[in-house]
Structure 1
Amino acid sequence: MHSVIASPFLEQHVLVRPGSRGGALLPVERYEELRALDLAAPTPPWLANAVQEHWDDLDVTGRPVGDFLLIRQPSEWGYGKASWEVNLGCNYKCKHCYLGLKVNSGMPWEDKRRCLDIMAEAGVLFLQVTGGEPTIDKDFLRAYRYAWELGMMITVSTNGSLLWRQNLLDLFAECPPYRVTVSMYGAAKRSYDELTQREGAWDQFVQGMNAARHARLPLRMSIVVTEDNGHEEQGMVALCESWGVEYEVFTNMTPTIYGGGEVLTAQSKEHLRLRKTFTGCNAGHTFFHMDPHGLVSICKIGRDDQISLPHEGIQGLARLGEIADRLMLRTGGCSGCSIAGTCRVCRPLAKHYQEAKAPLAAYCQHGEKAG
């Protein structure tokens, strides 16, 4: 199995290692040299030096290239990243969840595998696997392994409740993830169980985190601050720091993907923060999202005009750029706005807030000024 990947990434070429955040840019001539190599040939000295420089615990000097290196082929599609909701099912019932109803459904395994093949062909190097809770999906283990064997650098977004399971730990040891992002919903049992609406959730979270830290997984915490746990924000931060785990704090709740506003009641007004000015993104152009049924959209928020990857195949992605450009246009009450250039949310997210009949201040500068 590979321990290093040489791959195109957008308009560049990179050398990356599963389980590691580091990497190196590859000059195009070096990448083409690797593509032309016999995999039984010994490692070129320049490659051995580059590997040693970036990962000093890995010595590939004199080893056959095929023993450790996976060389990904160029793609005409130009997608470098993707996210995939394996399943919307979850073992929690969080009050703030933007997915709304937790429906435990998805594609059969053969369709999942075909979609992963298409992602690889489209050029996807970095894949976020999410849910719902992805680790409860019946196909998670083999889907993760298959994506890893295709040469994807995988981030798993999880609530951490099952990270103590030996089959998961064994998989991550054999096929290291790029990152494991764990959502954190409190610093104590009472608030954590209240927000997740699952008795014993805190105990499972602690058990999972203890196992993950012992296994030295590449962890990152997403601290979610709501009305239930707002008083524990600093406690959650302190816990992450005591674990030596990097973290990011999230305070702004969003409507459900169906435009429902019921989850906005979880918002802590005291902790609401102004978002940074939205300066654009490449959703639909270099990145896409896929739901549990293989329906591709520009991102997790802008889900209009989805493309069925199992039915249309990779050619369906040809329509994604045009869809992205159209969804980003200011329409309805936002068209003709004199300060649209400094909006704090993208148009698809603003549309969700509008459908949810959220307070104007949640997504629009006019509401901020009125408040």
Structure 2
Amino acid sequence: MGHQLIAAPFAGGHVVLKPGRIEAIKIPERLFRELDHGGIPRWLTDAVNRRWDMTLPDRPIGEVVLIRKPPLFGHSRASWELNLGCDFDCDHCFLGERPFAGLDEAGKHDLLRTLRDAGVLWLQMTGGEPLIDRHFPGVARLAHDLGMMIEVQTNGSRLSRPEILDVLTSVRPYRVAVSLYGATQETFDGFTHSRGAFKRVTVGLAAAVDAGLPVRLSLIITAKTAHEQDRMRGMADDIGVPYIEYTHMSPTIYGGGKTLDSQSPAHLKPVGRFEGCNAGHTFLHVDPHGQASICKVARDEQVDLMTEGVQGLSRLGVIADGLMLRTGGCAGCQLSEKCSVCRPLAKRYQEAKAPLRNYCQHGQKESAA
């Protein structure tokens, strides 16, 4: 049957988690240490019942709770591209070239065990499109068995397939994030350059909601989809799922700027001041070949997890600090303390020769003048 709960060190404290649910129970170290032996303590039974209305079975604790070790170098969260291949060809995709290539099934399993050994607790499975990878069902089940909390980022085109629904309902993610590129067939199929895409996604969404999966929509607001923004919101409301909106399009990871043409300037939302992030320190990204970087954007320096293993991550924090301190063309900028863009992303804009108005306050001031 496998574990029903996960107990783990996280963010300087300790938590108890239920696979498939985003809520956590925070516990002190003293209680976390009690979980190493004996039966299920009464405090845990009561806390789980209050949080999830759940009754724990009368079994040894090791059969019910999977106890995770602390992160070796602090990395408790990761995103992982199973592959870059996709059945859509969207104008805005920041990946640029999307070859369907990467690790074989055994390599993917080895990578997951490396991430487990590193202490990764929260794992975002993405792509490309992860659900078109034939290894997805097996790696999703293994990630669950290793004690990871799973999020799946998908375009939703395969959510109605029985083999996909079977794995997602048996090893339930805490979130299934589905991107939406319009509210009509004409707009959706045109933006994705895939005939029948809108029908496949809407059928998939209906199947996922009927199966009780924790779906959240990502509304992609671009020059070609913005006229259907309200209708996209209405779709989310009609099927009863939450949504977030994305209006800022990024250059590709190779510094290409064609993706920026898809942006709708009239719909850009204000972006707050960049105050730093934990990329490379508590979070990491892994590409389809097992190359780890500090995040999806900053891939300048990578760690080969397939050859270096967990110990290679000891260098990631230093890499992150170096990339964040890099000034590039921004040296001496008097507005840097109010900048809304991190240095790795600014570098991609600069490589793409993007207009300053797309990412820099100087350009935005000039546009407003």
Report the TM-score when normalising by structure 2: 0.97
Instruction: Provide the residue aligned with 1:240 in structure 2.
Output: 236
Instruction: Provide the residue aligned with 1:214 in structure 2.
Output: 210
Alignment of 1:57-96 (within 5 A): 58-60=54-56, 62-96=58-92
> What is the deviation of 1:19?
1.2
- In structure 1, distance between residues paired with 2:213 and 2:190: 27
Two-structure CA RMSD over aligned residues (Å): 1.1
Instruction: Provide the residue aligned with 1:30 in structure 2.
Output: 31
- In structure 1, distance between residues paired with 2:247 and 2:70: 40
Alignment of 1:91-106 (within 5 A): 91-106=87-102
Q: Is the 8 A contact 1:48 1:61 kept in 2?
A: no
- In structure 2, distance between residues paired with 1:19 and 1:205: 22
Instruction: Provide the residue aligned with 2:291 in structure 1.
Output: 295
Q: Is the 8 A contact 2:5 2:66 kept in 1?
A: yes
Instruction: Provide the residue aligned with 2:137 in structure 1.
Output: 141
Instruction: Provide the residue aligned with 1:17 in structure 2.
Output: 18
Question: AA paired with 1:155?
Answer: E
Q: Is the 8 A contact 2:81 2:126 kept in 1?
A: yes
Q: Is the 8 A contact 1:251 1:273 kept in 2?
A: yes
> What is the deviation of 1:72?
1.2
Q: Work out whether 1:55 is the aligned partner of 2:56.
A: no
Deviations along 1:64-86, one digit per CA (max 9) or x if unpaired, are: 32332111123332111000000
- In structure 1, distance between residues paired with 2:70 and 2:292: 22
For residue 282 of structure 2, the aligned residue among 265, 269, 286 is 286
Question: AA paired with 1:49?
Answer: D
Q: Is the 8 A contact 1:8 1:123 kept in 2?
A: no
Instruction: Provide the residue aligned with 2:195 in structure 1.
Output: 199
Instruction: Provide the residue aligned with 2:337 in structure 1.
Output: 341
Q: Work out whether 1:43 is the aligned partner of 2:40.
A: yes
> What is the deviation of 1:351?
0.5
Instruction: Provide the residue aligned with 2:127 in structure 1.
Output: 131
- In structure 1, distance between residues paired with 2:57 and 2:204: 38
Alignment of 1:253-292 (within 5 A): 253-292=249-288
> What is the deviation of 1:63?
3.2
Question: AA paired with 2:41?
Answer: P
Q: Percent identity?
A: 49
Instruction: Provide the residue aligned with 1:252 in structure 2.
Output: 248
Deviations along 1:328-371, one digit per CA (max 9) or x if unpaired, are: 11422201111111111100000001111111011111111111
> What is the deviation of 1:26?
1.4
Q: Secondary structure at the match of 2:232?
A: helix
Question: AA paired with 1:177?
Answer: P
**Structure 1 outlier segments of 4+, above 3 Å:** none
Q: Secondary structure at the match of 1:144?
A: helix
Question: AA paired with 2:268?
Answer: L
> What is the deviation of 1:130?
0.2
> What is the deviation of 1:20?
1.1
Q: Secondary structure at the match of 1:258?
A: coil
Q: Is the 8 A contact 1:182 1:219 kept in 2?
A: yes
Q: Work out whether 1:370 is the aligned partner of 2:366.
A: yes
Q: Secondary structure at the match of 1:198?
A: coil
- In structure 2, distance between residues paired with 1:289 and 1:33: 33
- In structure 2, distance between residues paired with 1:29 and 1:61: 23
Structure 1 runs not aligned, ≥5 long? none
Q: Secondary structure at the match of 1:111?
A: helix
> What is the deviation of 1:123?
1.2
> What is the deviation of 1:144?
0.9
Q: How many residues are treated as equivalent by the alignment?
A: 366
- In structure 2, distance between residues paired with 1:164 and 1:68: 31
Q: Work out whether 1:178 is the aligned partner of 2:174.
A: yes
- In structure 2, distance between residues paired with 1:108 and 1:19: 27
Q: Is the 8 A contact 2:328 2:347 kept in 1?
A: no
> What is the deviation of 1:178?
1.1
Q: Is the 8 A contact 2:274 2:338 kept in 1?
A: yes
Greater Cα offset, 6-15 or 198-207:
6-15
Structure 2 runs not aligned, ≥5 long? none
Question: AA paired with 2:35?
Answer: L
Report the TM-score when normalising by structure 1: 0.96
Q: Is the 8 A contact 1:278 1:343 kept in 2?
A: yes
